[in-house]
Amino acid sequence: MKGRYQDENLKWIPILIIAIYLFPFLIKNATFSYKYYLYILNMAGIYIILTVGLDLLSGFTGLMSLGHAAFLAIGAYTSAILVDQVGLPFELSLIITPLIVGIFGFLIGFPALRIKGMYLGLTTMGFGFIVKRLIIALREWTGGSAGLQVSKASFFGISIKNDWDNYFLIYTFVILAVIIARRIVQSKLGRAFMAIRDSEQAAQASGIHLAKYKMIAFFISGMFAGFAGVLFAHTSHFISTDHFDISLSIFFIVMVLVGGIGSIYGAVLGTLFIVLMENMFIPLFKDGLSQYMHIEAGEFQVFIFGLIMLLFIIFQPQGLYGMWLKMRIYWKLFPFNPRKRFT
Amino acid sequence: MSKLTIQNLHMHFSGVRALDGISFNVNEGEIFSLIGPNGSGKSTLFNCINGFCIPQKGDIVFNEIDLLNKKPHQIVKHGISRTFQNLQNIPYMTLLGNVLLGAHSRLTTKDTLNRWFSQREREREESLALEVMDFLGIANLEHKYLSGQPYGIQKLVEIARALVCKPKLILLDEPAAGMNDQETLEIAKIITEIRDILEITVLVVEHDMNLVMSISDQICVLDSGKILAMGKPDEVKNHPDVIKVYLGEEADA
Contact predicate A190/A58, CB 8 Å: no
- What is residue A343's predicted lDDT score, i.e. its pLDDT? 45
CB atoms within 10 A of CB B167: 22
pLDDT tens track, chain B, 253 positions: 558 888 888 888 888 888 888 888 898 889 999 988 888 888 889 999 888 888 888 889 988 888 888 888 889 888 899 999 888 888 888 888 899 898 888 888 787 787 777 778 888 888 888 888 888 888 888 888 888 888 888 889 999 999 998 899 999 998 888 888 888 999 999 999 999 998 899 999 988 888 888 999 999 988 888 888 888 988 888 888 888 877 776 655 4
- What is residue B160's predicted lDDT score, i.e. its pLDDT? 92
The amino acid at B94: T
Residue B127: exposure state from Cβ atoms within 10 A (0-12, 13-18, ≥19): exposed
**If pLDDT is split at 50, 70 and 90, which confidence band does A6 have?**
very low
- A8 contact B CB<8A: no
pTM of this structure: 0.89
What residue spans in chain B does CATH classification 3.40.50.300 cover? 1-79+167-253
**If pLDDT is split at 50, 70 and 90, which confidence band does A297 have?**
low
Pick from A4, A5, A206: which is nearest to B101 by CB? Answer: A206
pLDDT digits (tens, 9 = 90+) for A27-81: 888 887 888 889 999 999 999 999 999 999 999 998 989 989 999 999 999 999 9
- Is A340's pLDDT higher than 70? no
- What is residue B129's predicted lDDT score, i.e. its pLDDT? 87
Nearest CA in chain A to B97: A191
Nearest-neighbour CA in chain A from B147: distance (Å): 12
- What is residue A196's predicted lDDT score, i.e. its pLDDT? 92
How far apart CA B115 and CA B96 sit, in angstroms, is 16
- A158 contact B CB<8A: no
Please, how many CA atoms are within 13 Å of residue B143, restricted to the half-sphere of its CB? 8
Contacts of A156-163 spanning 24+ positions with Cβ under 8 A = A156/A91, A160/A234, A160/A235, A162/A35, A163/A35, A163/A38, A163/A39, A163/A42, A163/A235
- What is residue A293's predicted lDDT score, i.e. its pLDDT? 67
- What is residue A24's predicted lDDT score, i.e. its pLDDT? 87
- A113 contact B CB<8A: no
Contact predicate A80/A237, CB 8 Å: no
How far apart CA A313 and CA A318 sit, in angstroms, is 8
How far apart CA A293 and CA A189 sit, in angstroms, is 50
Strand-pairing partners, residue B170, are B81, B202
Nearest-neighbour CA in chain B from A328: distance (Å): 17
The amino acid at B156: L
ipTM of the complex: 0.88
Contact B97 A191 (CB under 8 A): yes
Collapse the DSSP code of B53 into the 3-class scheme (helix H, G, I; strand E, B; otherwise coil) and give the result: coil
Residues of B in contact with A207 (CB under 8 A): 73, 76-77, 102, 104-105, 165
How large a percentage of chain A has pLDDT more than 70? Answer: 91
Contact predicate A223/A98, CB 8 Å: yes
Nearest CA in chain B to A3: B143
- What is residue A323's predicted lDDT score, i.e. its pLDDT? 84
Pick from B76, B112, B116: which is nearest to A205 by CB? Answer: B76
Residue A184: exposure state from Cβ atoms within 10 A (0-12, 13-18, ≥19): buried
- Which CATH superfamily includes the segment(s) B1-79+167-253? P-loop containing nucleotide triphosphate hydrolases (3.40.50.300)
pLDDT digits (tens, 9 = 90+) for A143-183: 878 888 888 877 787 777 788 888 999 999 999 999 999 98
